[in-house]
Each structure stands twice: as structure tokens, then as C-alpha cells.
Homo-oligomer: A and B are copies of this chain.
């Protein structure tokens, strides 16, 4: 399957992403999940960025938290808007998971 997962928390309480092995994985960082794209702890990027996946982060949720400016977003994460999310859901993946 082609699965797109939404991560909306900074501290995750489930390890489901470690188990899912879809043929194609997308991860959309939204709400407090956006910190995974921007925030280093002791200089280290979030381990959530270590999956073999396409990463996206929602612009509005970055801005809301004072995290605008492309320079703060990790290079492997693409900044998107809600319209892009709709296209990802319909055109690039066949199932969704809000974790």
C-alpha cells in the first residue's frame, strides 16, 4: 500500500511508524508535529526524520508557532499548504493514518 501518515504531536505516545512497512510512505507533519521539522535537541534532528519516507510540513502550522522561514526547516522536509495535502492524499497515496 501507499500510506500517508499524519503526525500531530511532538512527543509521540505510539510506536506505530516503526511497524508500518508500506511500499510507499509519506509523513505529513502538522500541528505540534511541525517541531520535528524544525527543532533540534542537543544539536540532533528529530529521530522521526529517520524513516525512509517523503516528508511534508504544513506552512500554516509552522507560522502559528513562530517557525517561518525556510531556513529553519530540515532539508528533507517539503513545506506544503492544505491544497497540497489534498493532492497528496488523492494522487500520491491510497490510504491515510492519523497517528
Contact = CB atoms under 8 A, between A and B. Distances in A.
Interface of A: 9, 11, 13-14
- A-B pairs with the 4 shortest C-beta distances? A11-B13, A13-B13, A9-B13, A11-B14
> Helix, strand, loop or mixed for chain A's interface?
loop
Contacts of A14: 11
Contacts of A9: 13
A99 to B, nearest CB: 13
Contacts of A13: 9, 11, 13
A11 B15 CA distance: 11
A97 B25 CA distance: 40
A13 B13 CA distance: 7
Nearest to A15: B11
A45 B13 CA distance: 18
Nearest to A9: B13
A9 B9 CA distance: 16
